[in-house]
Amino acid sequence: MDARSALERISELQIIDVRDPDELEAGFIEGALNIPLPELPARIAEISADKPVLAVCETGQRSYEAAEYLEAQGFNAHNLEGGMWGWNLRGLPVVEGEGPAGSAGREWKVPGS
C-alpha cells in the first residue's frame, strides 16, 4: 500500500512497525505498535485479526516480509511501500522518537543523493 493510501485509511488500519526499537528514534507513525521482525512469530497474539494490518519498516523490505508472514497466518496484511523513507519524503505526519541525545531528528534523504 502506498503512503498516501495508508494515510487515507489510517483509522481503519492497525500499524505494526517491525523496526528495531532504536530505529524508532527517527520517528514513527502515530499509534504504531513496535514488534521487531525477529519477534513477530512470538508476539503475533498482540495483533488483532479483526482489523487490516499495515506493516512498516525503514525502506519497505522487512515490512514486506512481515506482511507476507502475516498473510500466511490469515491476517489481512499490507506492506507500506517505501517504508518510512517514502512516508517521510512525502511529508506525512510522524511522532518524533525520543532516544539518546543527538539521535532524533535525523534527516530523511533519498538513498544515493
Beta carbons of 68 and 1 less than 8 angstroms apart: no
* pLDDT at 23 > cutoff 50: yes
Identify the weakest region by mean pLDDT among 9-18, 56-65, 89-98, 104-113: 104-113
Domain map (residue ranges) of the chain: 3-89
The candidate with the shortest Cα–Cα distance to 57, out of 77, 81, 76, 41, is 81
Residues 6+ away with beta carbon under 8 Å from 8 = none
- Active-site hit among 24, 26, 57, 67: 57
Name the pairing type of β-strands 33-34 and 53-56: unpaired
Q: Which residue has the higher pLDDT, 66 or 112?
A: 66
Active site residue 10: no
Asked if CATH classification 3.40.250.10 holds for the domain at 3-89, the reply, yes or no, is yes
**pLDDT tens digits for range 27-70:** 899 999 999 999 999 999 999 999 999 999 999 999 999 999 99
Q: Where residue 104 falls among pLDDT bands split at 50, 70, 90?
A: very low
* Ramachandran category for residue 38: left, alpha or beta (phi over 0 → left; psi -120 to 50 → alpha): alpha
* pLDDT at 111 > cutoff 90: no
Alpha carbons 7 and 30: distance in angstroms, whole number: 11
Residue type, 92: L
* pLDDT at 106 > cutoff 50: no
